[in-house]
Chains A and B, each alone.
Chain A
Amino acid sequence: MPTSTIKNQAKSDHIDSVVSLSEKKTSSSKSELDCQCPVVKAENFSFYYGSKAGVKDISMEFYPCSVTAIIGPSGCGKSTFLRSINRINDLIPNTSVKGNLFVNGHNVYDKNTNLVNLRQQVGMVFQKPNPFPKSIFDNIAYGPKLQGVKSRSKLQQIVEESLKAAALWKEVKDDLKKSALALSGGQQQRLCIARALATKPNTLLMDEPCSALDPIATGKIEDLIGRLQSDYTIVIVTHSMQQAARISRRTAFFCLGELIEYGSTVDIFRNPGKKQTEDYVTGRFG
């Protein structure tokens, strides 16, 4: 599995290079980190599967126009937290929440939440590319159509824009009628990103978007994320610390359902405040 090899690399002495890498990218913008209003804000948020807690007592904020990475050992609740933000977890029976979770200032677990609007604003990209078994065009037009866009030319335009934004236009512009399932894994994932962009969200949640992809496709997706971050709030869950260091400005470290540490990526990798974090990023976790 590609994820585990990457992790193993991180475990070894390569950690220094990782940190230096992230430093280059983020040190300049450190001053502007805290000056913006958060788009997503959790307050003592807990999520339960039956009686078992998926995440416990999380308080954190995500800021606009930046990439935030969530890292942590598997099973620590990264996905759970991410999926509670746009309430996709509603699908799972017997779940309950405690605490508050605000998106654009609105508590999404309020009774009167407009789920449709919420999910349109908070787009999501899943671990495994999951295009519908329809044509490329229909996949991307799906969201806009739901929003009531009917005119063919408008749809065409949205599809083109989204595909361009997801850096896929050049590769597929000639066969938009082709089944999306015929694309390669990396293309499928970019298609999923394009599909999410087509609903014009302001936040993108990505749950290990590269873990099912090969290194080249991963590189392309990372480039894409780097380009998108100027317009969107991006939250990315990742297994790979290198990836977190490469692309994110802030990093949160989860462990056993709790938020251990949250801060600028440089700090998390350079001077972790907690022992657990340090163990994890230096590969001594276990």
Chain B
Amino acid sequence: MENTITNREAEPVAESNDLSLVLTPLEDLRGFLFHHLGRLLLFLITSSSVIAVFLIFFFVIREAMPFIKEHDLIKFLTSKQWYPEADTPKFGALSMIVGSAYVTVASLIFAVPVGILAAVFLSDIVSFRIREIVKPVIEILAAIPSVAYGFFAVLVLAPWLQNKFGFTTGTNALNASIILSIMALPTIISVAEDSISTVGRELREASYGLGATRFETIFKVVLPTAHSGIIAAVILGMMRAIGETMVVWMASGNAAQIPAPWWNLSQSVRTMTASIAGEMGETVKGSDHYYSLFATGVLLLILIFTLNLISEYFLVSAKKKLGKI
């Protein structure tokens, strides 16, 4: 804070009987130290998250460096051949990248419509009391740890899928996608609901006042107005799905292949996260394989960082828009 201070001799108008309003030099010094050093200290502590992000990038990239230097990055990104432990090892991560994208997109196909509809339901349709009941359901869905979902996928869903649809294996892309969509739902719902309910009451009333039904109001006025926030919600859900490890590791079957034909969800796939989780335990520290897994980690990190920036852009623009209204 900047105060324009005009220093003038204080005229004694009335004598203060108890406390002096003037700081003694010692108090002054103590106050100065307390204020500035304390602030600095707090600032440094607060910077720990910056330091953490920096360290994460630095150390993951550092461990990936030997691989990046020695191998053809283009090949890493475009080859399907992943034979890290062969005599002439091959590091082509394409099938893993495609696998990640595959289960993510498949899960969003289910999670986005359901999530948005549920958000609309919570913000525009039901009473406060029902919302109070449904909210904990969403919170618990979000709180169930991923390993428990993975457990469910392997021991309950996989046998069921296998028996019901006659798949050759129950742990496949479909299984992983179903579970991922359940896990992405709470994120999508809460972010979307936030942005939908911040669309002002006035807009809704204007629309209803012109004779629109609720459906029309929501689709023509509310959702278009809240679209930035909804896009952000979808991206955040996507981040959750891409970054998820235990579920895809346990449920996706872990075959490093690209499904053919491409719509065949009943085939096993392997994602980047599952590949890191599954193979890191078996590698020797310092081997090419070990470094290549860190390179996969870097890829993930870059991906998530980019998505994060995009989602932030949309969230900020959602805020700005509502500021204008």
Of the listed stretches B7-15, B271-279, B290-298, name the one at the interface; the rest are far from the partner chain. B7-15
Complex CA distance for A97 and B17, rounded to whole angstroms: 28
Q: How many residues on the A side are at the interface (Cβ–Cβ under 8 A)? A: 33
CB pair A117 B12 closer than 8 Å: no
Q: How many residues on the B side are at the interface (Cβ–Cβ under 8 A)? A: 24
CB pair A117 B13 closer than 8 Å: no
CB pair B14 A39 closer than 8 Å: yes
CB within 8 Å of A: which of B8-49? 8, 10-23, 27-28
CB pair B14 A121 closer than 8 Å: no
A109-B11 contact in complex given A104-B21, A114-B22, A114-B23, C-beta closer than 8 Å: no
CB pair A98 B4 closer than 8 Å: yes
Complex CA distance for A167 and B2, rounded to whole angstroms: 41
A114-B27 contact in complex given A98-B4, A100-B6, A121-B19, C-beta closer than 8 Å: yes
A98-B13 contact in complex given A117-B19, A117-B20, A200-B18, C-beta closer than 8 Å: no
CB pair B10 A109 closer than 8 Å: no
Expressed in whole angstroms, the minimum distance between the Cβ of B11 and any Cβ of chain A is: 6
A112-B13 contact in complex given A100-B8, A103-B21, A200-B18, C-beta closer than 8 Å: no
A163 contacts B by Cβ under 8 Å: no
Which B residues lie within 8 Å of A121 (CB)? 16, 18-19, 21
Closest to B17 in A: A202
Closest to B32 in A: A111
B1 contacts A by Cβ under 8 Å: yes
CB pair A117 B5 closer than 8 Å: no
Complex CA distance for A105 and B13, rounded to whole angstroms: 5
Which B residues lie within 8 Å of A37 (CB)? 13-14
Q: List 28 A-B contacts (CB under 8 A).
A: A37-B13, A38-B13, A39-B13, A64-B14, A93-B1, A96-B2, A98-B6, A100-B6, A102-B11, A102-B13, A104-B14, A104-B15, A104-B21, A105-B12, A105-B15, A105-B16, A106-B21, A107-B7, A109-B5, A110-B10, A111-B5, A112-B23, A112-B28, A114-B21, A117-B19, A121-B16, A121-B18, A202-B17
Which A residues lie within 8 Å of B15 (CB)? 104-105
CB pair A106 B22 closer than 8 Å: yes
Complex CA distance for A145 and B20, rounded to whole angstroms: 19
Complex CA distance for A94 and B2, rounded to whole angstroms: 7
CB pair A94 B14 closer than 8 Å: no
- Partner of A96 from the list B3, B12, B17, B27 (CB cut-off 8 Å) is B3
Expressed in whole angstroms, the minimum distance between the Cβ of B124 and any Cβ of chain A is: 31
